[in-house]
Structure 1
Amino acid sequence: MGKLKAYKICFDGDRDVYNPGEVVSGYVLIELSEPMKCRGVRIKFEGEAYVNWIESEGSDDDRKSVSSWARKIYLDEVVTLWAHSGGENQKLPAGTHHMPYQLQLPSSGLANSFEGDHGYVRYSIKSNIERPRKSDPKTRAMFTVTGVQVNLNNVPEAIYGQRDGDEMTVCCLCCASGPITMTASIDRSGYTPGEKIKVNIDVDNHSSRSIPKIEATLIQRVKYTAYRGGNMSSPRNKYSKERVSTKSGPGCEPHDKSSWREQFLPIPPIPASGLADCPFIDILYALVCEADVTGTPFGLEVTLPIIIGNIPLQQVYGYDSNSVDYPPIPGGPAPSIEPHPLADHAQATAPLPPPPSYESLYSGQTSVMGANEPDDENWFGQQSFAPR
């Protein structure tokens, strides 16, 4: 864009993941090939939870589109990085400018960054160069806030295993064949990303139908709550479902059996269960085990609820609060881990899982562009984002 060669928001240490209570800091980089008329350079810190969808109501000529939405603001602060008091003809000099910024995040009340089908929790830094009688160049950088940590040691049911089953009888030409049964079990109910769910499945097929495949899938279900026209007295819900991780295996022939023993389903980078401090979005997980039955529209299905946390179970790994050596987020404090009241170091079965790597979430990049930004020739900012 002419004289403006670069306009970018940078984070100190290339760090873009922050805990509540930490300081977000960096600088705005502006590179000019020649002086630019400028009233000021401003930066805005934004954080919000937003849920929205549009539905059609009525019929025929009375049909109309109705928006349901909800919003909660976490950050909304504007800071002037550079300003000149000499009037409209004052100019920002040519060359490269580094304009530092910093923001102290609140120590509580911030929801974890999240991107979903019908809503999100986003944190961003926006900047504009205010020019007289011309449109302002703009840029943006997104960052991740970790929000409330889910410590599985504080969730009593996380350590307990689960087991459940399903049964069906297949009819063939008015005659019922023998039943098909499936049982599924897991060693515990609470996990963190990077761990693996140990799955056992038994299928006993007394029917004349084959079962070509058995599948175990970690499902993420998200509940969104919004309000018709923003009216808080008219709540509405929408749900989405994502297959996070899947493992498949062979089934069995008629009058045969199939058994999975200690099959491990990996857990990719995913947000923790729930979404504390966000009243409009709730995240749930479940392990769904399925067995397809040939020639029928239905199969067997067993669902086992799963809790995803940020801090692993002490009882499983046998660590204590003084032995954990997780490095902090660069520039941030080390995570604290409270001892689990049921911890028994003799029951340690595995090394502590690897420390958090802050990879992008499995769902991938999401567009964060506003309605008019794609066509704005003065736009320099980030176009897509995935929380980490």
Structure 2
Amino acid sequence: MGKLKTYVITFNGDRQVYNPGEVVSGLVIVDLAEPLQCRGVRVKFQGKAYTHWTESEGSGDNRRTISYSATKYYFNDEVTVWGKQVGDRSGENPTLPAGTHQFPYQLQLPMSGLANSFEGTVGYVRYTIKSNIDRPWKFDHTTKAAFTVTGIQVDLNRIPNAMLAQQDEDEKTVCCLCCASGPITMTASVDRSGYTPGEKIKVNVDVNNVSSRDILEMEVSLVQKVVYTAYRHGSGRAHHRHSKNKVSILNGPGCQPNGTINWRDQYLPIPPIPASGLEGCEFIDIYYVVHCEADVSGTPFDLDVSIPVTIGNIPLQQLYGFDFSNVAYPPIPGGPAPSAPPPPLSDYPPAEAALPPPPSYEAIYSGQTSIKDDDDNDYTRGQLDFAPRYSYYNWDAHKT
């Protein structure tokens, strides 16, 4: 076990989500079995957007690996919570006594410009607190924790045509034994183009199969597409990487030749996911489509339709009759605390005029990912697996 028994970072009130402009505060807890001589205990606050990957160029003996990356810091500050200041080499180094020590920390988040937390395949927007015990001539002890920042909000009420239904169609003619059979046509629509997590997308799909092939299965999915941009070191030349994930799926039966499929009012749920665009980060872009696919037997050329939709943070006022951006809710356990005390309960509407559901902040559908980076090593402690949390309106659980 050694001298260091416990080394963790905690958040006051067990907060996990913060808004721009709020104060992030908590404790760095150090529990020592024996006294420890060190220069000091530091805390580093970092908000960072980052993309990185490598590509191979050339061939044979001239083949080489090229690195592409992009970095943006929203903040990158370090403070000393005990001991000597950074760079102070004068005199003897102090000794931290045995026992449990609690060092408070505090970070004022910027009011604007912060992108929403995001963890992707070759990039991220990540907000962390890292502490190190600065030991002369030895490896530092380090511990780390991450938190979610809500970032720039996407208000669907400011998105043109967010209330309008969307429709698209596709048609393919499948060949069989060198002879073309009749076409397969698909028409798909969604009830509008703007949604928030917790809502459901109403989907209608019509397939007319005049071919001689079976349609094995129908699938409708909400697909998250991410475009990452990074730059070649030394030249500034931009390259791009793309990722695609199905975040919600509906499956249904197909049909035989000369059959039809008619889906009416199928509801595709939206899990906790980041909003479209990832405003505040110039080299990661997120967008969504509702993808409808008919699996045609005996051919790789399936019938498919993709309809773009916008995922936002603030629901449509026209749809629910509330201005969500101005509604004052009581505090949400585990979510962002309001910047001022909420009004007394007597000031809220009576039960028969209930407020729309307040957003909770739920962990992303895909689970936790590692937040270890190049500055960490095998001895870094703390919360190294992390899942961002996103606003989620639980309409099903809310009495209206």
User: TM-score, normalising length from structure 2?
Assistant: 0.88
For residues 194-241 of structure 1, the C-alpha deviation after alignment (integer angstroms, 9 at most, x for no partner) is 111100001111122111211101111111111111543x11111111
User: Post-superposition shift, 1:331?
Assistant: 2.4
1:2 match: 2
What amino acid sits opposite 1:7 in the alignment?
Y
What amino acid sits opposite 2:98 in the alignment?
A
User: Post-superposition shift, 1:374?
Assistant: 4.5
Counterpart contact for 1:27–1:99, Cα < 8 Å: yes
Distance 1:304 1:21, change over 3 A: same
Is 1:293 equivalent to 2:299 in the alignment? no
1:343 match: none
User: Post-superposition shift, 1:371?
Assistant: 4.4
Match of 2:208 among 199, 204, 207: 204
Tell me, in whole angstroms, the C-alpha distance in 1 between the residues paired with 2:4 and 2:388: 30
User: Post-superposition shift, 1:322?
Assistant: 9.1
2:219 match: 215
Matched pairs, number: 369
Tell me, in whole angstroms, the C-alpha distance in 2 between the residues paired with 1:374 and 1:265: 42
Match of 2:310 among 275, 291, 307: 307
Distance 1:366 1:321, change over 3 A: closer
User: Post-superposition shift, 1:179?
Assistant: 1.6
Q: Which moved more, 1:221-230 or 1:274-283?
A: 221-230
For residues 104-148 of structure 1, the C-alpha deviation after alignment (integer angstroms, 9 at most, x for no partner) is 111011111111111111110111112233222111111111110
Distance 1:108 1:231, change over 3 A: farther
Distance 1:360 1:372, change over 3 A: same
Counterpart contact for 1:37–1:88, Cα < 8 Å: no
What amino acid sits opposite 2:387 in the alignment?
A
2:394 match: none
2:381 match: 380
Supply the RMSD in Å over aligned alpha carbons: 2.0
Structure 2 residue runs of 5 or longer lacking an equivalent are 341-353, 390-400
Tell me, in whole angstroms, the C-alpha distance in 1 between the residues paired with 2:82 and 2:186: 67
Structure 1 residue runs of 5 or longer lacking an equivalent are 335-350
Tell me, in whole angstroms, the C-alpha distance in 1 between the residues paired with 2:189 and 2:92: 71
Tell me, in whole angstroms, the C-alpha distance in 1 between the residues paired with 2:7 and 2:296: 58
What amino acid sits opposite 2:195 in the alignment?
Y
Match of 2:128 among 124, 128, 142: 124
1:359 match: 362
Tell me, in whole angstroms, the C-alpha distance in 2 between the residues paired with 1:273 and 1:330: 21
User: Post-superposition shift, 1:330?
Assistant: 4.0
Distance 1:231 1:360, change over 3 A: farther
User: Post-superposition shift, 1:46?
Assistant: 0.7
Tell me, in whole angstroms, the C-alpha distance in 2 between the residues paired with 1:178 and 1:130: 74
Tell me, in whole angstroms, the C-alpha distance in 2 between the residues paired with 1:286 and 1:321: 25
User: Post-superposition shift, 1:320?
Assistant: 3.6
User: Post-superposition shift, 1:254?
Assistant: 1.1
For residues 38-75 of structure 1, the C-alpha deviation after alignment (integer angstroms, 9 at most, x for no partner) is 22111010111111110000011100000011101111
1:83 match: 83
User: Post-superposition shift, 1:384?
Assistant: 1.6
Counterpart contact for 1:22–1:332, Cα < 8 Å: no
What amino acid sits opposite 1:21 in the alignment?
G
2:322 match: 319
SS at match of 1:359: strand
User: Post-superposition shift, 1:95?
Assistant: 1.6
What amino acid sits opposite 2:167 in the alignment?
R
Distance 1:207 1:368, change over 3 A: same
What amino acid sits opposite 1:75 in the alignment?
F
User: TM-score, normalising length from structure 1?
Assistant: 0.90
1:263 match: 266
SS at match of 1:188: coil
SS at match of 1:157: coil
Match of 2:255 among 252, 255, 269: 252
Is 1:281 equivalent to 2:284 in the alignment? yes
2:347 match: none
SS at match of 1:156: coil
Counterpart contact for 1:70–1:230, Cα < 8 Å: no
